A and B are shown apart, each in its own frame.
Chain A
Amino acid sequence: MFQIDCPWCGPRDQQEFSYAGEGGIQRPQDPSATTDAEWADYLFMRRNPRGMHHEQWRHVHGCGQFFQVTRHTVTYRIESIRRMGESAAAGGESS
């Protein structure tokens, strides 16, 4: 059971949160202009690394906000947490 430091509410138990997939995936500006391969890549391809992973979580039973988490998938150590739109550099200070 993780403890996640919500960038709005502070540290809370994992059960208040929901996992929201890999972070940093940008929806194509104009989907109809994408090739089938580009669209499939956006739709299906995920990194699933052994090590640092950039992911999104939502404090669904709290402030309701989505935010970015960098987490080690082996040790489960949470490296940094940032609000949506915050860059990694800014997040380094807030976490």
Chain B
Amino acid sequence: MSQTHRLSQGGGIDRARELTFTFNGRRYQGHPGDTLASALLANGVSVIGRSFKYHRPRGIVGAGPEEPNAIFQVGTGATTRPDQRATQVELFDGLVASTSARLGFDPLSVNNMFARMLPAGFYYKTFKWPATYWPRYEEKIRAVAGIGESPIEPDADRYDHMNAHCDVLVVGGGPAGLAAAQRAASAGARVILVDENPAFGGSLLSGRDAPDNHVDGRSNRDWIANTVAELAAMPDVRLLTRTTAFGNYDHNFIGLMEDRGDYLGQPAAHGVRHRLWRVRARQVVLATGALERPLVFGNNDRPGVMTASAVSIYINRYGVTPGYRAVVFTNNDSAYGTALDLHAAGIDVAAVVDVRRRPSGALAAAVRAAKIPIHDGCTLIKARGGRRVRSVEIGRLSGEQLTGDRWKISCDLVASSGGWSPVVHLHCHIGSKPVWDDQAACFLPGADNPGQTSAGSVTGHFNLRDCLAQGFERGDAAAAAAGFEPTAGTAPSAPAAGETMPIRPFWLAPSGAPISRGPKQFVDFQNDTSAADIALAVREGYESVEHVKRYTALGFGTDQGKLGNINGMAILAATLGKSIAETGTTTFRPAYTPISFGALAGRNAGHLFDPERKTAMHEWHAAHGALFENVGQWKRPWYYPKDGESMQESLDRECQTTRTAAGVLDASTLGKIEVHGADADRFLDLIYTGARRNMKTGTCRYGLMLHEDGMIFDDGVTAKLGDNHYFLTTTTGGAAGVMNWLEAWHQTEWPDMDVFFTSITDQWATIAVNGPKSREVLQALCNDIDFDRDAFAFMTFREGTVAGVAARVFRISFTGELAFEINVDANHGRYVWEAVMAAGAPYGITVYGTETMHILRAEKGFIVAGQDTDGSMTPMDMGMQWAVGKKKTDFIGMRSLARPDIVASGRKQFVGLLPTDGTVVLPEGAQLVDDPQAPLPMPMVGHVSSSYHSVTLGHSFALALVKDGQSRMGETVYSPQPDGSVIAATIAGPVFYDREGARQNV
């Protein structure tokens, strides 16, 4: 098909080059500089989709972010993108676009014939029953709606985030924004200027080159080029095109999304597709412009009915005419400009229909001079035609009503203008309300947000001269507020606007019939919300604009009601008999236009999604077949399967070898904190439940930390390195929290104490050697420490040399076996680890991971804070009274241990469980009940916190928290399972192995 609607001249397109693209499988041609929408219009494609509910044929309505209909799937395979507005998709060679709607005969267009049975709230009313069917309904509704498809393949492209700081951020590169940026930059401010379009210039780009839009006496394109070049030459100015300011957040934090790849089809080599900018600006100038509202009349959704400004843009910017015989319908002056644009392009303008009587003003005069008929005091009643507007019916108005005088004009294009709505979205994102202005018949930004101001047509100034002057002034003001002295200069000047005539607010064209019986008058095209739907919502009792929005789906689409919302709110106000100001708007929330998940994720994807913290021995573990487990951000070896082993077989081997010979665990991930200072004793006595003051240098002590409410939150070992000098360990996951805890109490409660905390988690590689042969292994590696049982007693540490490396060796045990923990400078970690493995080889030493560690510790009833405790367990609940200093007068959480509900009976207590069938392993987290036959909801008496199969014991076992469990030894509890089975288990003490604790003291 040829470009039937391409004008022979004009527009900013490169006619010398031809681009081929595909829409719904058909090939078309366009030019560089086209959007997908302009290229489709150039090819005479008028039906580009079907509407959501009634499946009516739809065409392109707008030329920018307000477009509700031309929402396409662009691209194929891994980079396909749904929800793309054709009006903002730049054309490139080979572009593939489609809509899932049927453009020819659509069997569901039958919905249109039964439209009265599909009123507002239809889905809510119809698909309510039965409730469980909703997922099925939803699937069908979604499929029918045809919104688009997300890619299934992994996304090969790169996305990133960029943080930026500036003195002045200018949003919008139209005349006001350019003037503001130029002023702020010339004052020396760091400026960022952003615009969603491929080029700066804003509304200037969509006007004809005419003396009335010349700036400083030169053509507006010259002025744009000059100003942009001047800005680009300044070192501290960043110009971002194809970049949408999508959100305005607290403290002048603005989110931008920059397209760096879509417009090319794919990003440049090593480049990113989308970049999310996170801008912190000292000052913000919002020069976001205004969007034109259409007028609401019967069948106003017919392809060929567009906003007047869109028609002008297609003619002037793209050299495309959307039709060959136009009717312009307006309530204000600006559409007269469109009539003149059409006329200048040689397009027949059949009529200008103006709801105002006797339109005066310079533009109306020019239209009259061009011999274009003006039907004043008239309205369009409805459009006629099926897949394309063929004619319009016009009626004379008397007030808001029809006089009965009607006539018809044939046309294939209707350009309508209901006035302009400033883009107040960004202004409103941080909670400000827009203010209705009766004069300009639009919502304006309310009082400026701190550090922000607005300039240009967003403030309700719709002529070029005012916008330039205001941009200039606001740019100066923003620079000054950011601490820069404005330079001398005068505002860019444009010719004074001629005489104008005020807008006449006109929200709904009368049809002569009741609203529910007349032709469909669409307010929100994307959601098929009509004026009748709004009226129905009011009849059914809805009053709040927020409720009507949700009931009628007004403004719910991907366009977020940019085209129709204000019309809808005004119609609502009229139906309620209230003013628009009283009715108000719905809430403006980010994002202004949709942004991609890729941009949101940025570099936080795949292997960089979250840090993988690695110990010094990580590469060794990986090389020796370890499977890893995530513990917080750490990668910890989980277990080390040998060829052909099942998981349980590996665990059995690791457990058995450790209990009978020796096993090694990489314990480097334990949190470690060094504490020193003259008040370290005193401070730690307040932090731990047990006493630290009376510890001897060289000894270790287990300790619990409680929150002030008496609940255990972390545990670990404290080693006394010297006077007022300690080494603490924390749980792997608790390290940062404990560090913060210590700092919080020191800084906010006891700042006069002389104590310092330094995190040394990463400094030390920790190699835990456990098992009856661990002493021999250590002795083989170390000749300057006496490992004799009494010389190096349990719960003490020594400093010496292991494998030639300075080391601190702790004799502590988390397995119940004889055990030593070697701590060395992490740079030597792998070297010493390998030395330990070599020294242990004669004893058959095994390496073991976290799962074996858990089994071995659980056999001994050693808790894991955060697994066996959940923030609601006291030391008494855990049977750990022994860890609480009896003589202490205060420690954090102590007072709470005497609160009435802490000492009351009925609390869950820590116990062991032995499943009646020793081959069954209770699932961790399983709930426990006394009577599995009890009616639902079954009273629950506890839950399983840890559960394993033990090769040492020869059966399964578990640790659990059971109400009053410590006085229920020998009783049976039951765990009903999701599959209907019930696991019975006997309550026992939590220590299953070596109850007397002899093995660790050998």
| Chain A interfacial positions (CB closer than 8 Å to B) | 1-3, 13, 18, 20, 27, 30-32, 34, 36, 39-40, 43, 56, 58, 60, 64-66, 74-78, 84-85
Contact = CB atoms under 8 A, between A and B. Distances in A.
8 contacts: A20-B748, A31-B895, A32-B895, A36-B899, A39-B895, A39-B899, A76-B250, A84-B751
B251 A66 contact: no
A20 B251 contact: no
Given A1-B250, A58-B743, 15 more contacts: A1-B249, A1-B251, A1-B253, A3-B253, A27-B708, A27-B749, A32-B889, A32-B895, A43-B709, A60-B740, A66-B744, A75-B431, A77-B450, A78-B251, A84-B748
Nearest to B895: A31
Contacts, number: 60
B900 interface: yes
Interface string B876-898: 00000000000001100011101
Contacts of B899: 36, 39-40
Contacts of A18: 740
Nearest to A4: B251
A76 B747 contact: no
Contacts of A32: 889-890, 894-895, 898
Given A27-B749, A32-B889, A75-B431, A39 B896 contact: yes
B896 A65 contact: no
A2 B278 CA distance: 12
Chain B, interface size category, equals 20 to 34
Contacts of B709: 43
Given A20-B744, A66-B744, A85-B751, A3 B252 contact: yes
Contacts of B740: 18, 58, 60
Contact of A43 (B743, B749, B889, B896): B896
Contact of B748 (A30, A40, A66): A66
B251 A3 contact: yes
B280 interface: yes
B752 to A, nearest CB: 10
Nearest to A18: B740
Given A3-B252, A75-B431, A31 B894 contact: yes
Interface of B: 163, 249-253, 278, 280, 431, 450, 708-709, 740, 743-744, 747-749, 751, 889-890, 894-896, 898-900
A66 B747 contact: yes
A-B interface, 8 closest residue pairs, ranked by CB to CB distance from nearest: A31-B895, A3-B251, A66-B747, A1-B253, A76-B250, A2-B251, A66-B748, A27-B749
B246 to A, nearest CB: 14
A58 B744 contact: yes
B742 to A, nearest CB: 11
B896 A64 contact: no
Contacts of B748: 20, 56, 66, 84
A32 B751 CA distance: 22
B280 A13 contact: yes
A32 to B, nearest CB: 6
A76 B895 CA distance: 36
Contacts of B751: 84-85
Contacts of B280: 3, 13
B451 to A, nearest CB: 10
A30 B250 CA distance: 42
B595 to A, nearest CB: 16
Nearest to B743: A64
Nearest to A75: B431
B190 to A, nearest CB: 15
